[in-house]
């Protein structure tokens, strides 16, 4: 008869078998998403920067977690109480160990901070103004307005817009492999412009213009939404992103132009100062 496996080896084999069985029932797309730690497939030139930071942070967290769990298990087994009258050696402090668990977290934070700043600088870099398509976005209760600033585009020759409503989800068309600048405005409260496949979102704040540049590099249709709990119908603030060829992009804008949806729709301006409040009776201002 063959020799029986050690219980620990048997446990590892069983775990590997369960893992392989679980993966066998998953689609290639699901397995690929696990490799991205839950992120959807990237759809812009900036998304891989954030994806790399996200994946690196998860790997660092898993390495630290496995090390700590292993250390806890080793200590529990190695220094367990072996008899009723046996007490493991007690120490008041261990200077090398205390230095280790004080310095290592600072080292981890420093490395993550360095890569975070590096990623932030790459994501927020601006494309050359002469080559960028500009879309002025307005977040309003409870939908989105997209202004395509294409007056200088010979194929369109006008500023056109698309207004969404709570009953009709608006479409946002973008040309593939062409840089796009989003200028974000709010008509009322704080919203947040988010396309999950872009791996990026940015707040839309009253009285302030936020902007970012991306280059969509994958044809397809993607979902967009508000990522800020902005009020009663926040869940209705959805939009659909279509990344198409430049010819299809221009054709869509000309459709809006032919329908009379021309000119820029602007959000109302808000003062940047807090209005004064009258003092209560008997209170000094």
* Residue ranges, the chain, pLDDT below 50: 1, 7, 10, 285
- Among residues of the chain, what percentage have pLDDT more than 90? 64
Superfamily for 129-258?
Cupredoxins -  blue copper proteins (2.60.40.420)
Q: Is 49 left (phi over 0), alpha (psi -120 to 50) or beta?
A: alpha
Q: What angle do CA 31, 33, 38 make, to 5 degrees?
A: 130
Contact 185, 155 (CB under 8 A): no
CA 269, CA 206: separation in Å to the nearest integer? 8
Domain chopping of the chain, boundaries:
26-81+94-123, 129-258
End-to-end CA distance of the chain: 94
CA 160, CA 250: separation in Å to the nearest integer? 11
142 preceded by cis ω (within 30°)?
yes
| pLDDT for position 25 | 56
Which pLDDT tens digit goes with each residue over 175-197?
A: 999 999 999 999 999 999 999 99
| pLDDT for position 1 | 46
């Amino acid at each position: 008869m063959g020799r029986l496996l050690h219980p620990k080896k048997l446990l590892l084999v069983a775990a590997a078998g369960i893992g392989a069985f679980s993966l066998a029932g998953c689609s290639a797309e699901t397995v690929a998403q696990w490799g991205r730690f839950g992120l959807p497939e990237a759809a812009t030139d900036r998304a891989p920067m954030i994806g790399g930071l996200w994946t690196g942070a998860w790997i660092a967290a898993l390495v630290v977690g496995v090390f700590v769990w292993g250390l806890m298990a080793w200590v529990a087994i190695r220094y367990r109480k072996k008899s009723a009258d046996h007490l493991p050696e007690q120490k008041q402090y261990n200077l090398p160990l205390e230095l280790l668990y004080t310095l290592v977290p600072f080292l981890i934070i420093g490395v993550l901070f360095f890569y975070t700043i590096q990623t932030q600088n790459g994501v927020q870099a601006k494309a050359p103004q002469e080559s960028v398509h500009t879309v002025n976005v307005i977040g309003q209760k409870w939908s989105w307005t997209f202004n395509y600033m294409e007056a200088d585009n010979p194929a369109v020759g006008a500023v056109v817009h698309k207004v969404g409503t709570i009953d009709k989800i608006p479409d946002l068309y973008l040309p593939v492999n062409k840089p796009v600048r989003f200028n974000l405005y709010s008509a009322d409260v704080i919203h947040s412009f988010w396309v999950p496949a872009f791996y990026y979102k940015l707040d839309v704040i009253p009285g302030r213009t936020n902007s970012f540049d991306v280059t969509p590099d994958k044809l397809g249709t993607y979902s967009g939404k508000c990522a800020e709990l902005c009020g009663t119908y926040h869940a209705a603030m959805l939009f659909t992103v279509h990344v198409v060829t430049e010819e299809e992009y221009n054709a869509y804008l000309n459709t809006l132009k032919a329908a009379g949806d021309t000119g820029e729709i602007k959000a109302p301006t808000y003062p940047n100062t807090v209005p004064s409040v009258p003092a209560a009776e008997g209170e000094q201002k």
